[in-house]
Amino acid sequence: MVGAPARPRPGPYDRIVRIEEHVEIMRSQPEVWDFVAEPLNDPQWCSKVKAVEPSGSNRWSVWHKPVPFRPPVSLTVEHLIVEPPNRLTVREEDDAGVFNVEYRLDATESGTRFTQMSECEWKRLPKLLRPIYDRGTRRDVRAQLRSLKTVLEGD
């Protein structure tokens, strides 16, 4: 009897964390889109991003500092799906992990509901540190969205 192939057992570093957060921004959907879809604006609302440079069609090289007391590292950013002004999917990769991010923008009566859905796959993170990095990543996403709201609303 032939059965389904055995699924590989997760390795000591295999892990995907899923994060979904949203914020209401009192700006129009096109205004929010124009700002967020331009990676050169990232340092204004992503505190860990230090510099952004174009590196090809829909690709950027980003210097970011994901871990305190450690030097900045290079991150490759690529826009995969671009559907103005509603949806943007982005793939980000550095030595530590791969991050698949989707931004959804929905018009509301008072402006825009901005939702960020992220799947983070750690490449070399020991199991013991996963809960710490998962909480830290969730905290960072929340802080980014608060910062985005502040920057766009001018508060």
What are the residue boundaries of the structural domains of the chain, listed by start? Answer: 17-153
Q: Is 57 helix (H, G, I), strand (E, B) or coil?
A: coil
One of 3.90.190.10, 2.30.110.10, 3.30.300.130, 3.30.530.20 is the CATH number of 17-153, namely: 3.30.530.20
Token couple for 67 = 């871990």
User: Where would I find the H helices in 25-126?
Assistant: 29-36, 42-45
Token couple for 124 = 């070399």
pLDDT score recorded for residue 1: 47
Among 141, 143, 148, 87, smallest CA distance to 119 is for: 141
Longest dimension (CA), the chain: 66
* Tens of pLDDT, residues 9-60: 555 445 688 999 999 999 999 999 999 999 999 999 999 999 999 999 999 9
Does this model's pTM top 0.75?
A: yes
